[in-house]
Structure 1
């Protein structure tokens, strides 16, 4: 993906350039130090994306965006020291065709790289995603009896476990922080709340936080969504599993544990259809044999296992890890 920078501040240009070189498939097309130069260079060499400063001498980023989108259109993200401070100008630029806006990165670059990855999807320049080294991903859904089942499984994962784990447990949001803290005391791996824009990381366990649906974006970050509203359960396992099946480019394991109802069974089936290893907890070890039962009936599960055997099945998918002891 060819990316251009339009910014009158050398330090900002350098900061952006250093972020871009971290991704091998991102190439710096050119640099412009004011809006007029950006318009001229874009006409001669139209990139896939321009990181456009809002305020520049000679011609600001808003006017440059207007001219570029009318003469040689391409994807544009407005970059500024404070999106909130320049809200009016940002929205004016979006009115002319800019796709999004972001603050100039200072300490972290995840926000910018995530935004670029999303835009790469939109403009069909996302081949770099396939070349990224992704960890194996394990997604788990649980309801009634879930905390104890999860502890049984997760406590068997070794400290060098290289898979990323994301959990959706049916529990009210006001208790999630305590649940995550409790899990941290029971198992060797770190447990964190799955905050918006988080990315699954090897050796870490993320737990769905709010009462809204946890979903995975095309750029592999997590977010929360109130839609769809027609799901009987808040924080739907089905919604999360389905989004993972749609967007995670690698393979992994889907695990559906004890619980009432049928949430997660359809999502587990979607994962199986995408080539994932799918596991349902067996009747004997479930506190409530509801969700796994429906999954078995739908043919969603490749394996039906007692809770004590699920960890070893997951470890098979994690390179360089082995059962403790």
Structure 2
């Protein structure tokens, strides 16, 4: 892949350059700050930009926002302190950055510092189609034939799937909900487990609902937002507890929205709303369709407000989305739907 490196620290630039060369990638250009990166990207667009966060003149958040507006390009945040910059990390991801990883360190004995970065680049390349899979992906599990919607039991559940641009979209929706929000909320956001606690803290500082890391065995609870924090897939079990599964092993999305939504469609006895937000790829389309086939309400974010219109577009194309809405309208619509359902399904 052709790579653009945006970093003002010479040692970090050299570590990134060596890592790219070792992984068989080409460094297309270097930029010492975000303003230069915006110019370079407009002149010569790379396959991927490695974007630092803290820089003079223009930081990585504003540079990401400008690039996605003017010369859209895949961006991976690479920063020396992920935990120390968690607020900026999620601002950048909300602006369109695909993922975040720690800056590799020169002289690391076992070389694992750079391997994590190379693994993320390979994953981005495969999902975007720039890098071909080394082996064919086995077909995913097909949806079960249509069955009549179940009679709904008590309990209200909101499930949300998102990826690129997800943190900012999540914040926009969750900010509209009151503290006495009647439904339980479970979010499947494509993100490495090491960054989920930072996402949870970031959301907790800005919304009235309680946001928690999801632990195996947790049950959905009204007014509580649960976000999974492992590299495994999120599933709902027959008894409506939540857990994790390593299957399917050939799915590049973690946690897979399809895997989670299909398990909810199979086991949740109450009323459910399914939402697919901004993200690259098509994860969640089949799962949202499974939820809709069970008589649940479904929403996809519209093209104009999506950072990347991959996941919502796929959901719309298969007929999974009952409504297609801009991000600023989704929260209010969810409240309206829940108000109409609360009398039927809520204690």
On whether the aligned pair clears a TM of 0.5, the verdict is yes
Instruction: State the superposition RMSD in angstroms.
Output: 2.0
* Number of the residue aligned with 2:332: 312
Q: Are 1:170 and 2:190 an aligned pair?
A: yes
* Number of the residue aligned with 1:275: 295
- Per-residue displacement from partner, 1:114-142 (whole Å, max 9, x unpaired)? xxxxxxxxxxxxxxxx9997331000000
State whether residues 180 and 191 of structure 1, in contact with CA within 8 Å, keep that contact through their aligned partners in structure 2. yes
Following superposition, the deviation at residue 270 of structure 1 comes to 0.4
- Per-residue displacement from partner, 1:115-171 (whole Å, max 9, x unpaired)? xxxxxxxxxxxxxxx999733100000000000000000000011111100001011
- Per-residue displacement from partner, 1:208-232 (whole Å, max 9, x unpaired)? 1111000000000000000111212
Bigger Rg, structure 1 or 2: 1
* Number of the residue aligned with 1:244: 264
**CA distance, structure 1, for counterparts of residue 285 and residue 151 of structure 2:** 31
- Per-residue displacement from partner, 1:23-79 (whole Å, max 9, x unpaired)? xxxxxxxxxxxxxxxxxxxxxxxxxxxxxxxxxxxxxxxxxxxxxxxxxxxxxxxxx
State whether residues 192 and 205 of structure 1, in contact with CA within 8 Å, keep that contact through their aligned partners in structure 2. yes
Structure 2 length as normaliser, TM-score? Answer: 0.54
SS at match of 1:198: coil
State whether residues 252 and 317 of structure 1, in contact with CA within 8 Å, keep that contact through their aligned partners in structure 2. no
**CA distance, structure 1, for counterparts of residue 234 and residue 268 of structure 2:** 14
SS at match of 1:242: helix
Aligned pair partner of 1:257 in 256, 277, 281: 277
* Number of the residue aligned with 2:210: 190
Question: CA distance change for structure 1 residues 256 and 199 in 2, over 3 Å: closer, same or farther?
Answer: same
The unaligned stretches of length 5 or more in structure 1 are 1-129
Deviation beyond 6 Å, 4+ runs, structure 1? 130-133
State whether residues 167 and 207 of structure 1, in contact with CA within 8 Å, keep that contact through their aligned partners in structure 2. yes
SS at match of 1:304: strand
* Number of the residue aligned with 1:117: none
**CA distance, structure 1, for counterparts of residue 161 and residue 239 of structure 2:** 22
SS at match of 1:186: coil
Following superposition, the deviation at residue 319 of structure 1 comes to 4.1
Q: Are 1:209 and 2:233 an aligned pair?
A: no
The unaligned stretches of length 5 or more in structure 2 are 1-149, 343-347
Following superposition, the deviation at residue 283 of structure 1 comes to 0.1
State whether residues 136 and 317 of structure 1, in contact with CA within 8 Å, keep that contact through their aligned partners in structure 2. no
- Per-residue displacement from partner, 1:258-287 (whole Å, max 9, x unpaired)? 000000011000000001100000000000
Following superposition, the deviation at residue 251 of structure 1 comes to 1.8
SS at match of 2:288: helix
**CA distance, structure 1, for counterparts of residue 263 and residue 178 of structure 2:** 28
Structure 1 length as normaliser, TM-score? Answer: 0.57
